[in-house]
């Protein structure tokens, strides 16, 4: 089967559902959720391991510098801390050994806000460590233009909608600002996706059409925890 018949990208933070996940060319998964045998069974779909660079789910760590994020129960980290850098790189290599084909780098906005230069150096360390494996960034616009030289693609999470209030369009001021960011992202030769939360069909159509209009491949989620596989708009 040619890759052209696949959905380009999916997200799923649950377990199982291998037949559904094989519909994607690449799919972002939680590293703990799949065995090496399951990852191998996904082929030719390429699984990408979720990896947070700016927040830590563990309750304690010498690299913590901020309060707990009340939305997710994570702690803000110092991306320059040697222990954090070592941990992130070791996790990345472990995930590749397990059978993942690349990484999805999350919480880049938080890492950039804490220490922009250190966040870029951390991504560079990852690129050196994993070589040609696929790197997909989530947002991180403050790291431009250098970010575009280090990763293969970018996801614009929350381009048109928010999961707050059960899912709704963003305010017009944010929609205009996000459109400007999309224009900037288009200047770089990387793959560009949107990720919007759209549990209602009308909201999904709005998010999909708007993403396509701004040159983004739309990815649509039914709920914020991504416990159902995402879909693509058209």
pLDDT at position 5 is: 60
Residues contacting residue 55 through CB under 8 Å, at least 6 positions apart: 69, 72, 74, 75, 76, 77, 107, 110
Residue 1 is assigned to a structural domain of this protein = no
Say yes or no to pLDDT of 71 above 80: no
| pLDDT tens digits, 206-223 | 999 999 999 999 999 998
Q: Count structural domains, the chain.
A: 1
pLDDT at position 166 is: 85
Residue 4 is assigned to a structural domain of this protein = no
| pLDDT tens digits, 106-140 | 999 999 999 999 999 999 999 999 999 999 999 99
Query: Which structural domain range is residue 55 located in?
Result: 9-221
- Look up the CATH number of the domain holding residue 78: 3.20.20.70
Comparing CA positions, the residue from 46, 47, 53, 98 lying closest to residue 77 is 53
Residue 3 is assigned to a structural domain of this protein = no
Residue 167 is assigned to a structural domain of this protein = yes
70-77, Cβ contacts within 8 angstroms, sequence gap of 24 or more = 74/107, 76/110, 76/114, 77/111, 77/114
Residue 89 is assigned to a structural domain of this protein = yes
Residue 231 is assigned to a structural domain of this protein = no
Residue 128 is assigned to a structural domain of this protein = yes
**Three-state secondary structure call for residue 34:** coil
Residue 82 is assigned to a structural domain of this protein = yes
* pLDDT average, residue stretch 196-200: 95
């Amino acid at each position: 089967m040619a890759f052209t018949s696949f959905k380009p990208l999916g997200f799923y933070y649950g377990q199982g559902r291998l037949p559904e996940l094989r519909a994607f060319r690449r799919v972002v998964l939680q590293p703990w959720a799949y065995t090496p045998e399951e990852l191998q069974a996904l082929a030719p779909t390429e699984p990408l391991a979720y990896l947070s660079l700016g927040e830590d789910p563990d309750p304690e760590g010498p690299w913590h510098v901020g309060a707990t994020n009340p939305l997710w129960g994570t702690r803000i980290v110092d991306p320059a801390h040697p222990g954090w850098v070592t941990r992130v790189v070791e996790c990345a290599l472990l995930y590749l050994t397990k059978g993942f084909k690349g990484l999805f780098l999350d919480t880049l906005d938080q890492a950039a806000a804490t220490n922009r230069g250190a966040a870029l150096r951390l991504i560079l360390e990852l690129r050196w460590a994993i070589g040609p494996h696929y790197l997909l960034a989530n947002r991180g616009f403050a790291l431009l233009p250098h970010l575009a030289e280090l990763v293969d693609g970018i996801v614009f999470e929350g381009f048109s909608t928010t999961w707050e209030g059960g899912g709704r369009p963003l305010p017009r001021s944010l929609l205009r600002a996000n459109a400007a960011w999309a224009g900037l992202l288009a200047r770089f030769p990387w793959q560009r996706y949107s990720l919007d939360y759209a549990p209602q069909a009308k909201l999904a159509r709005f998010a999909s059409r708007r993403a396509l209009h701004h040159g983004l491949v739309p990815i649509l989620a039914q709920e914020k925890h991504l416990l159902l596989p995402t879909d693509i708009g058209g």
